[in-house]
Amino acid sequence: MEFLPELIASSTDKSKFLLATARDYIRDTQTQVILKPIADYLRSAFPSQQLLEQYFQSYEIVCERAVFDHAAMEEVIS
């Protein structure tokens, strides 16, 4: 029975390793399935990084205005 604590400790370490490995696999799979297609599309849609940055900056401004306009409308309604 002396080996039992060692067996429990080693199985716990193995399960931690498997859990970490599974998390890495999930992250890698999500990157390949979700992020890579988005990055590929953005690379094809915007020939330069500067154009992409300009697009996102203009989009950020539009979003800020929408949030501000929504808040203003809430204030008028109430």
21-33 per-position pLDDT tens digit: 778 888 888 889 9
Is residue 39 scored above 70 in pLDDT? yes
In angstroms, the CA 57 to CA 60 distance is 5
Residue 52: per-residue pLDDT = 87
All residues at 6 or more sequence positions from 25 whose CB lies less than 8 Å from its CB, including other chains = none
Cβ–Cβ under 8 Å, residues 55 and 46: yes
Please state, rounded to an integer, the average pLDDT across all residues of the chain. 75
Domain ranges of the chain: 1-45, 47-78
Across the range 55-64, mean pLDDT stands at 80
* pLDDT tens track for 11-23: 566 666 666 677 8
